[in-house]
Structure 1
Amino acid sequence: MYRKVIFPVDLTHVDDLSKALQTTLDLANHYKAEICFVGVTGTAPNAVTHTPQEYERKLRAFADEQGKAHGLKCSATACISPDPSIDTDKTLLAAIDDLGGDLVVMQTHAPNALDYIWAGHGDTIAAHSGASVFLVR
């Protein structure tokens, strides 16, 4: 049913993704699907990496670690954005299409009042992607 699962990763919050990551691993295992870990980063240094190339290496290492630990085919795609604070949704939507993802699994937060003003990334991806989207709280 699903061939490629896209899992957006924010390497600064990877410890907070355990529930969504486990869901992704379970679904990929069940459907014998590839997982593509997608991360969006800027060109400026951040808390995790100093360069986009270092970010890409860390994202690939994360994907390799998950693949080996769980016996799944995993890949990584780092997307470089001039301003991730405003481009993340657009960049993720383009990556999902470019990579041929047919399922996106994302960690999300519990709804709050600000969601009426600014939609979360998961809301936007679910509303605008042609892929199925599974949001995990």
Structure 2
Amino acid sequence: MYSKIMVPVDLAHLEVLQPALKTASDLARHYGAEVCYVGVTATTPGSVARTPEEYQQKLEAFAREQAGDHGQRASARTITSPDPIADLDDVLLQAIEDTGADLVVMATHLPRHLDAVMPSHGDRIAAHTEQSVFLVRVHNRDG
């Protein structure tokens, strides 16, 4: 049913993405699908990497590690943006097309009153693509 699963990842926050990563891995195993990990990075130095090239190397290493740990085919795609926060939805929507993904698995936070000001990305992605989107809730440990 699914042959390529796209998983947006933030290498700086992998610990909170674990439920989504496990879900994607389980679905990939079930369907024999490839997982494509997509990371969006800035053109300027950041907390994970100094350059987009270094970020790509780290994302590729992460994809290899996931493939080895879960016995699945995996790939990595880095997208560079001058403003990753502002551009995130648009670049992820384009990445769905560019990767040929037929399923997107992504972490999302619990709905809160702040969503009116700072909406989650998952709902916008789901509303603007024809592909299936599986949103995995990430619970805030602080309350």
Give the secondary structure class of the aligned counterpart of 2:39.
strand
Which shifted more, 115-124 or 31-40?
A: 115-124
| TM-score, structure 1 normalization | 0.97
Q: Which residue of 1 aligns with 2:27?
A: 27
Q: Which residue of 1 aligns with 2:117?
A: 117
Whichever residue aligns with residue 123 of structure 2, its letter is D
Q: Percent identity?
A: 56
Cα displacement string for residues 87-124 of structure 1 (whole angstroms, at most 9, x for unaligned residues): 01100100111111110000110000111233211111
- The 5 A counterparts of 1:1-137 are 1-137=1-137
- Supply the distance in 1 between the matched residues of 2:34 and 2:64 (Cα, whole angstroms): 12
| TM-score, structure 2 normalization | 0.93
Cα displacement string for residues 40-93 of structure 1 (whole angstroms, at most 9, x for unaligned residues): 001111111110000000000000001011110000000001111100110010
Whichever residue aligns with residue 74 of structure 1, its letter is A
Give the secondary structure class of the aligned counterpart of 2:133.
strand
Q: Which residue of 1 aligns with 2:140?
A: none
- Supply the distance in 2 between the matched residues of 1:45 and 1:131 (Cα, whole angstroms): 33
Give the secondary structure class of the aligned counterpart of 1:44.
coil
- Supply the distance in 1 between the matched residues of 2:34 and 2:120 (Cα, whole angstroms): 26
Runs of 4+ deviating beyond 4 Å: none
Whichever residue aligns with residue 16 of structure 1, its letter is V
Structure 2 gap ranges (5+): 138-143
Give the secondary structure class of the aligned counterpart of 2:109.
coil
Whichever residue aligns with residue 58 of structure 1, its letter is K
